[in-house]
Structure 1
């Protein structure tokens, strides 16, 4: 009994006198320090390889594994494994790892997007539409319901990129067609997303398609809709984006022949819940 009391007193006295406890080391670096394989030097600070088997607890309550100077509540130098975790009832906040390896929560990232839409009816000149001339969808700054990526509308129908990067572009249109009683009873109309890198002097179609709309009755206005295929593209500052459509032709040059039936009127307009147009520009 006297021997046990002496050991306890000795441990308590050493902890009080030196405020540090070392196991397998005579020179603890923190309040509590274990040197796993007894490879720390008698003098000086252990090297990084020597710290690899160490475990410490600091006066601030920080724990270090594989290192002796933890900067977080739990600081591990090496791989971490967690076994047999329980399922959570919710996944409200995700965890992230920063460039220093610190694990924590992050503020929710706001989507970087500009979204334009309108329900207004837009009428087009019938001569140009029947001729196959390009018709521009009149995107307006006032049509923007969300814009946190600094895009602008320098002129109606043109959207300017404010920040360079990789973008996802989506669009839809809702044509309203009044067919004439001629041709084969179908409308052949191409819809495109165009990009200009020189201020609108030249344009390149980067997405689109040519749907075929049937005539459901001559002299009657019918509502149709089309969604342009989504694309991902790198855009630079001041690049321009526009939406256009046009009646297509068979062949090229002076021998090209307009396809399908002609129209009494051509418009874009909302119908059955579909807006006149949408243009979504998302920075990835």
Structure 2
């Protein structure tokens, strides 16, 4: 019996430079699959017809639900991720965010390249004026970050306490972060108090620094209680 050999390479070479269509007679990309077989015989499908299409373009872009992907992978519908491996507290992971205008996915970062949503910094500020920090510039960009003080402590070199020379008491500590000149500043003080041993003390201030990519500023809510101790606020727009 004779064996018949067909030069396969010759057959494939006929369509090397053509577009391939599956379920469509008018492919719009290098590979075009019309899932529902509802595309027109000629010309480009409508947006509704593209919804069930998958394409691979000549530049290697993949479009799902669109025949004109503008990124390496673009889908116009929802994506589902199955069970993924947990990080189990391991550090070194960044966060993906979506551009609400273009739909493009990116790795969130500040202008300096920081890719973490939350950052923790401890400021050890020694030899302050008694117990008073009037203005400590952290040089953290207030456009890029928001600073929240999560805790603090104060000590003097020999462990001396605080006192008020006139009354023997002092007001609770007043500590806060504020934006000035484009950076975050810290202020800390025991109002009305001073160190009992007249020795300058040291503050330890714990700060949570949040990447502003994830912050939504809702402005200032102002309320006038008219001299009363009770009142309520309007719900901020955007919540």
Work out whether the TM-score is over 0.5. Answer: yes
The C-alpha deviation readout for 1:116-168, integer Å capped at 9, x for no partner, is 6113673xxxxxxxxxxxxx714465xx6x43237xxxxxxxxxxxx699642
- Aligned mates of 2:56, 2:195 — CA distance in 1: 84
1:172-251 map, 5 Å? 172-174=153-155, 176-177=160-161, 188-193=169-174, 237=180, 241=187, 243-246=189-192
Structure 1 residue ranges without an equivalent (≥5): 123-135, 151-162, 194-227, 248-262, 271-275
- Residue 171 to residue 26, structure 1, CA distance change in 2 (3 Å): same
* Structure with greater contact order relative to length (CA < 8 Å, sep ≥ 6): 1
- Residue 147 to residue 245, structure 1, CA distance change in 2 (3 Å): same
Q: CA deviation at 1:172?
A: 3.2
The structure with the largest strand share of the pair is 1
- Aligned mates of 1:242, 1:88 — CA distance in 2: 37
The C-alpha deviation readout for 1:18-48, integer Å capped at 9, x for no partner, is 5111011111010111101111112222111
| Matched-pair contact (CA < 8 Å) for 1:33–1:54 | yes
* Root mean square deviation of aligned Cα: 4.7
The C-alpha deviation readout for 1:164-217, integer Å capped at 9, x for no partner, is 9964245433362499xxx9xxx6432332xxxxxxxxxxxxxxxxxxxxxxxx
| Matched-pair contact (CA < 8 Å) for 1:96–1:105 | yes
**Structure 2 partner of 1:148:** 140
**Structure 1 partner of 2:125:** 117
| Matched-pair contact (CA < 8 Å) for 1:95–1:103 | no
Structure 2 residue ranges without an equivalent (≥5): 211-239
Structure 1 position 168 matched with structure 2 position 176: no
1:2-13 map, 5 Å? 12=12
**Structure 2 partner of 1:108:** 114
**Structure 2 partner of 1:24:** 23
**Structure 2 partner of 1:137:** 132
Kindly name which structure, 1 or 2, has the bigger radius of gyration based on alpha carbons. 1
- Residue 265 to residue 57, structure 1, CA distance change in 2 (3 Å): closer
- Aligned mates of 1:19, 1:87 — CA distance in 2: 44
* TM-score, normalising length: structure 1: 0.49
| Matched-pair contact (CA < 8 Å) for 2:170–2:190 | no
- The count of corresponding residues between Structure 1 and Structure 2 is 190
- Aligned mates of 1:14, 1:104 — CA distance in 2: 41
| Matched-pair contact (CA < 8 Å) for 1:121–1:269 | yes
1:82-97 map, 5 Å? 82-85=81-84, 92-97=92-97
- Aligned mates of 1:76, 1:172 — CA distance in 2: 51
Q: CA deviation at 1:236?
A: 6.1
